[in-house]
Chain A
Amino acid sequence: EPEVTQTPSHQVTQMGQEVILRCVPISNHLYFYWYRQILGQKVEFLVSFYNNEISEKSEIFDDQFSVERPDGSNFTLKIRSTKLEDSAMYFCASGKEGQSNSPLHFGNGTRLTVT
């Protein structure tokens, strides 16, 4: 069964550094998402992406964050200048449709540790 793949599985970076988290969504999916999960807290929506543009973003997704789908295959999340509080699991998800009964498929996440 096709799956969403994320790389790297674990990224350690120093505060202030830029990081790029990579995702390969399922090939025939059109809707793409990033979520994050700080240790011990709920999964939080960051951003949704459709038709090569952001369709919705949360308050967390400030100017330090950006997303890109550079080649029709990869979907990336960039954090320009990481902060300690950016340490979390970051999950990419994709869906065939953006409708209420369309399931999302999640990757296994990238654990980002900012030191």
Chain B
Amino acid sequence: DIQMTQSPSFLSASVGERVTLSCKASQNINKYLDWYQQKLGEAPKLLIYNTNNLHTGIPSRFSGSGSGTDYTLTISSLQPEDVATYFCLQRNSWPLTFGSGTKLEIK
């Protein structure tokens, strides 16, 4: 099975700051990597699919990049409504596996 390691586990940043979240796969996942946002008490929501494609309705301050085993989610200017836990998901092979999440808070 492919293991997904997210870092950091917790991140505190200021409004307006550029934030970078990392997701590392245990083997090449060929850019089959998605990012999900989960706010407290809510269902997860798709942000980015296939590494760098912004899902419909997602603000352009969110972007994704990466290849091989290393992937990144960037928020260009952190907003208060971005407080959430962010999960990555690999879909290169079964079983699908999520990272353990990065909890993002406002400083």
> Is the pairing of A and B real?
no
Q: Which residues of A contact B (CB under 8 A)?
A: none
